[in-house]
Amino acid sequence: MQITVRSGNEIKCAEIPEGVSVYVLEGTTPSDAADNAVREALRHPIGTERLRDIVKPGERIVILTSDISRPMPTAAVLPDVLDELYAAGVCDEDITVVIATGNHRAQTAEERERLVGPEIYRRVRCVDNDPTDCIHLGETSHGTPVDITRVVAEADRRICLGNIDFHYFAGYSGGIKALMPGCSTPAAIQRNHSMMLDDRASVGRAEDNPLRLDLEEAAVFCPIDFMVNVILGHRKEIIAAVAGDVVAAHRRGCELYDELNKVRIAAPADIVIASQGGAPKDLNLYQMQKALDNAQYAVRDGGTIILVGAANEGFGNKTFEEWMLAADRPQDLIDRIGREFRLGGHKAAAIAMVRQKCGIKLVSGMTPDLVRQAFLESYQDLQSAVDDALRQYENAGHDAPPTVIVIPYAGSTLPVVIQA
């Protein structure tokens, strides 16, 4: 059987011999994009009035949205949101779009224009979150400082945009994350993200996830008036949307996302082949970690994950790289994150935790020496990685033929083992 997955802008192929059980896991994506999903969500908000009935003329309004590293189609969502504001008598001069960069780099002017679209960029003020100009509004019960960039903190109304996806410790993306960590400071982000070591801070978990609940507590100090979140298909088209209360609407969106992207399996496999889904989400190992984290739920203890992605930018984060190269063994990274939580280091520890469970073969454009120093096996082509994984399984003396699970879009597909 031939299997294919994406790596950057290429397709990687491999032949798997007869006798090997192969299962391909993909979420359920509707055949057509939902062109009116955002408008319908705005007409029927969850837990709030319509946006046009919330805002008033003359109020200072900020719209928070994702930066260029996220697949959020801001340019497709903003026009419908602005129509709601215009229907309430709001003027362009009172609207500011804030790019919620969080711990990421600032955007260029060209990137901001591409994010919101040329026409809106000409009419509406667009700025990045500024972590150097924040207002301290208080602390959550966990002790996380609620430090919010000034233009957001001083606004009369706040609207959050985003897309819902799986997140390996916040449970899901979207919702309050546009505000926290999107428009906050490194210190606040680090304090919150240190909670990732809690077992409940895990992918596909929201209701009792202490890390997400800590983020949502920030809205007590800096209220969100309205939220619009979308769910995207594999081609990054909008297939569903929710709007309204930043918690209630987000939870409903997570339920919809689960229906599409939580895939049940009878048992973990011996070998899992996982891809982030190609460009632009596999530019570096830092981004590909999300696919690896989801793939771990499909592999048995002692099995093998074959992670496929371009990774042409290498590690993709300086701290992540420093931690990886400084460790002598995976356990060193797990021990270190417990002593000194640092952003970037948390990704190194997350990879180490998966490495403790199973072997990891990386098919990428990274140099073999760097891959080996990250405790992974390096391959240039998928077929070689598959052949070696099958050979290792056979040499281990197993009686039954191996089972293989292929996850072409592992960053947005969560395997769930059916409980007996």
**In CATH, what number is assigned to the domain containing residue 324?**
3.90.226.30
- Per-residue pLDDT averaged across 80-99, rounded? 98
Residues 42 and 12 in one domain: no
**Does 57 fall in a domain?**
yes
- Per-residue pLDDT averaged across 3-29, rounded? 93
**CA 272 from centre of chain:** 20
Letter for the amino acid at 12?
K
**Does 209 fall in a domain?**
yes
**Does 340 fall in a domain?**
yes
pLDDT digits (tens, 9 = 90+) for 236-286: 899 999 999 999 999 999 999 999 999 999 999 999 999 999 987 899 999
pLDDT digits (tens, 9 = 90+) for 145-161: 999 999 999 999 999 99
Using the predicted structure, report yes or no on whether residue 71 has a pLDDT greater than 70. Answer: yes
Burial class of residue 412 (count of CB atoms within 10 Å of its CB; 0-12, 13-18, 19+): buried
- Interior angle at CA 153, CA 147 and CA 154, nearest 5: 145
Answer whether the bond into residue 280 is a cis peptide, omega within 30°. Answer: yes
Residues 183 and 198 in one domain: yes
Residues 120 and 235 in one domain: yes
Count of CB atoms within 10 A of residue 353's CB?
17
Residues spanned by the domain of 285: 2-27+266-417
Residues 186 and 45 in one domain: yes
pLDDT digits (tens, 9 = 90+) for 191-240: 999 898 899 999 999 999 999 999 999 999 999 999 999 999 878 899 99
Please identify, among 206, 226, 260, the residue that sits at the C-terminal boundary of a domain. 260
Q: Which pLDDT band holds residue 93 (cuts at 50, 70, 90)?
A: very high
Residues 15 and 43 in one domain: no
pLDDT at position 30, please? Answer: 67
pLDDT at position 35, please? Answer: 74
Using the predicted structure, report yes or no on whether residue 79 has a pLDDT greater than 80. Answer: yes
**Does 32 fall in a domain?**
no
Please identify, among 220, 237, 260, the residue that sits at the C-terminal boundary of a domain. 260
Question: Of all residues in the chain, what percent carry a pLDDT higher than 90?
Answer: 88
Residues 255 and 329 in one domain: no
What mean pLDDT, rounded, does the chain reach?
94
Residues 182 and 47 in one domain: yes
pLDDT at position 338, please? Answer: 84
Please identify, among 226, 260, 294, the residue that sits at the C-terminal boundary of a domain. 260
From 19-33, 154-168, 354-368, the region with the lowest mean pLDDT: 19-33
Number of domains in the chain: 2
